[in-house]
């Protein structure tokens, strides 16, 4: 993220890492290309005391509850926040109490706060709602994010369970570590934007199992082992499945693509062959959101109530 | 538009038509499905006096100068405006003086005003910029809108010159009636959103000529006659073509599609097979924009500085 921010023309005012092996070092030692005069602080208060940042990019946790304290510190210092915290992207369904607390802290500090990223934040929520703009009626929204994980980072391949046998996969599924966090938030975001009230939501997660040996990933995968995950989130209203979000990421997947289908008037489908690399795109969406957040009303915002996020001049207020 | 608005759940407060054959009649006589108690007014002031609309949908003219007086009347009555006036979608390059006058009238009236529609307004400007959000760098934006006009309304087929011989086509081109209005506005919108400064813009318009007899349209087309138009807008910066907008609409076109390509990091391309019907989509984008306009700051707005336009509950303020 630091490298991406520098390449996008952002000035790095400070950095924080709680790891005692990292705090105290020059940021340039950790992230090539970073300015040499920025020393990594051990906590947010220390970093804010040293500089007066226009905005903070918070990429620490997936959990809303875990992010709350960090956002409160930043809000109390008057620093707007863009965070990749998945549960922050649309917390109003899953945990409205914590969302309200964060909202109030941000209003008190006079700053806006946004959870975003490529997914959740963009591909399976913001973008499908924007693609519904030419529709006079929308009956259902279906989104597919299908990825060949062969070329992705090793931690990503591990995160999707590549190489696990069925017992190991089951164990890790129960631990919750295989789960992509964000489908529920994306479904809530779509429903809220389109004016729908979901009366049910369910999510399934199963392995994509190799039927031939696969050598495309970071380690060989034998037949019968998982080569990735298939996770589907389904939102219901009055017995109908009106939102279907399919996330499939596997080593050796024959094709990668993004696909959004809207049933309604008119019916339409958009497709991006090759898909969008999540590592680059998460950095991009997050950094590109900064200028929309700088011009937003104070409070906990979503991608739906700030100016449309696009590529644009770094950090310049819209 | 009236039928679409009723189907979307909008309450029709009033209607205006300057045609003396229409003014004074019940709206239901003109537009099936409209309420019977709305009488078409002869001018805007009369319509505003009779009702207190939350917003006006203005679908009268393509020219900014022609729209100005109508917007000023509505703004002076405190009525927010969403208009399909093509030149209003991004008037800041072509006619900043008139744009500023409209902006000031709207601020004085405390209302927001937006020019939008499917094109300009959405497919060749707003959407491509939103599709750039996952990019860390954007070098060029290319948009194609390719349509088989065989099933479109007769006036649309006439507007694109279907059935004209080369002399007739040339004459109508010179009269300016074949031209799709909005490519320049779309290019200006993209450049502004992405932070680019165009140092050149040019537009070409040529016939798509039939090489075989075509019977798919409203009237037969002979070989050598035009079956439609190919219009290309090109925006330049420092000698490079950084924006290319290709509008091709012709009777008997083998396929219809929308396509957006972004050169940069990452490079990406989205495609909508079958394309999006312009008649339905213009109504939808315009009506769906109402709620974003209701929550916007007063002044002349663009799709870039209001909340993202999506399908949603009719007229409910975001």
> pLDDT of chain B along its 318 residues, tens only?
899 999 889 999 999 998 999 999 999 999 888 988 999 999 998 898 888 899 999 999 999 999 999 999 999 999 999 999 999 999 999 999 999 999 999 999 999 999 999 999 999 999 999 999 999 999 999 999 999 999 888 999 999 999 999 999 999 999 988 988 899 999 999 999 999 999 999 999 999 999 999 999 999 999 999 999 999 999 999 999 999 999 999 999 999 999 999 999 999 999 999 999 988 999 999 999 999 999 999 999 999 999 999 999 876 655
CA distance B235 to B90: 15
- How large is the average pLDDT for residues A219-231? 96
pLDDT on residue A236? 98
**What's the gap in Å between the CA of B213 and the closest CA on chain A?**
31
- Helix axes A64-76 and A96-109, enclosed angle (nearest 10): 10
Q: Which residues of A touch B316 (CB under 8 A)?
A: 195
Q: How far is CA A14 from CA A37, A295, B295, in A?
A: 9, 22, 35
CB count within 10 Å of CB B195 equals 15
| Whether residue A140 has pLDDT greater than 70 | yes
Chain B nearest-CA residue for A130: B310
Do the beta carbons of residue B42 and residue B18 sit within 8 Å? yes
Estimate to the nearest angstrom the gap between the alpha carbon of A18 and the chain centroid: 22
pLDDT on residue B49? 87
* DSSP-assigned letters across all residues of B235-258: EEETTEEEEEEEEEEETT-S--EE
For A121, residues 6+ apart whose C-beta sits below 8 A from its C-beta are A84, A89, A115, A182, A285, A286, A303
Q: Which residues of B touch A312 (CB under 8 A)?
A: 193-195
Taking alpha carbons only, the member of A103, A48, A100, A101 closest to residue A74 is A48
Give the residue, B77 or A33, on which the prediction is more confident. B77
Q: Which residues of A touch B306 (CB under 8 A)?
A: 307
pTM of the model: 0.96
Nearest CB among B122, B129, B138 relative to A133 is that of B122
How do residues A249-298 score in pLDDT, each as one tens digit?
Answer: 999 999 999 999 999 999 999 999 999 998 899 999 999 999 999 999 99
Q: Which of residues 255-284 of A touch B (CB under 8 A)?
A: 258, 264-266, 268-274, 276-277, 280-281, 283-284
**What's the gap in Å between the CA of B181 and the closest CA on chain A?**
19
Q: Calculate ∠ Cα B142-B144-B148, nearest 5°.
A: 175
- Cα dihedral A290, A293, A299, A300, rounded to 10, equals -60
ipTM metric: 0.96
Q: In chain A, what percentage of residues exceed pLDDT 90?
A: 88
CB count within 10 Å of CB A8 equals 20
- Which of A121, A134, A192, A285 is most worth mutating to test chain B (most B CB atoms within 10 A of its CB)? A134
Q: Is B238 on the interface with A (CB under 8 A)?
A: no
Is A133–B277 a contact, with Cβ atoms under 8 angstroms apart? no
pLDDT on residue B293? 97
- Which of B128, B311, B313 is most worth mutating to test chain A (most A CB atoms within 10 A of its CB)? B311
pLDDT on residue A70? 96
Q: DSSP code of A6?
A: H
| Whether residue A318 has pLDDT greater than 90 | no
Chain A nearest-CA residue for B123: A134
User: Quick one: tokens of A295?
Assistant: 């011009």
- How large is the average pLDDT for residues A37-56? 91
**What's the gap in Å between the CA of A49 and the closest CA on chain B?**
30
| Whether residue A228 has pLDDT greater than 80 | yes
CA distance B175 to A304: 43
User: Quick one: tokens of A207?
Assistant: 């392995």
How many residues in chain B?
Answer: 318
How do residues A166-204 score in pLDDT, each as one tens digit?
Answer: 999 999 999 988 988 899 999 999 999 999 999 999 999
């Amino acid at each position: 993220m630091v490298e991406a921010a520098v390449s996008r023309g952002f000035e790095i005012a400070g950095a924080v890492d709680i790891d005692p092996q990292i705090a105290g070092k020059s940021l340039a030692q950790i992230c090539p290309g970073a300015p040499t005069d920025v020393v990594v602080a051990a906590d947010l208060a220390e970093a804010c005391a040293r500089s007066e940042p226009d905005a903070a990019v918070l990429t620490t946790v997936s959990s809303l509850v875990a992010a709350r304290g960090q956002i409160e510190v930043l809000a109390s210092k008057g620093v707007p926040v863009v965070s990749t915290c998945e549960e922050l992207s649309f917390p109003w369904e899953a945990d409205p109490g914590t969302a309200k607390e964060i909202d109030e802290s941000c209003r008190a500090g006079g700053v806006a706060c946004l959870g975003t990223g490529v997914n959740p934040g963009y591909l399976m929520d913001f973008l499908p709602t924007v693609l519904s703009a030419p529709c006079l009626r929308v009956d259902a929204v279906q989104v597919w994010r299908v990825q060949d994980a062969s070329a992705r980072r090793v931690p990503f391949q591990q995160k999707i369970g590549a190489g696990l046998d069925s017992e190991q996969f089951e164990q890790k599924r129960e631990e919750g570590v295989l789960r992509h966090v964000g489908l529920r938030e994306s479904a809530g975001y779509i429903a809220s934007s389109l004016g729908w009230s979901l009366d049910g939501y369910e999510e399934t997660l199963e392995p994509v199992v190799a039927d031939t040996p696969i050598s495309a990933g970071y380690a060989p995968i034998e037949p019968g082992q998982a080569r990735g995950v298939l996770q589907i989130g389904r939102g219901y209203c009055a017995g109908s499945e009106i939102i279907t979000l399919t996330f499939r990421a596997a080593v050796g997947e024959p094709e990668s693509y993004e696909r959004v289908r809207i049933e309604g008037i008119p019916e339409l489908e958009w497709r991006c062959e090759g898909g969008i690399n999540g590592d680059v795109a998460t950095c991009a969406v997050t950094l590109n959101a900064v200028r929309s957040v700088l011009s937003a009303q104070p409070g906990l915002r979503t991608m739906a109530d700030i100016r449309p996020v696009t590529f644009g001049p770094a950090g310049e207020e819209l």
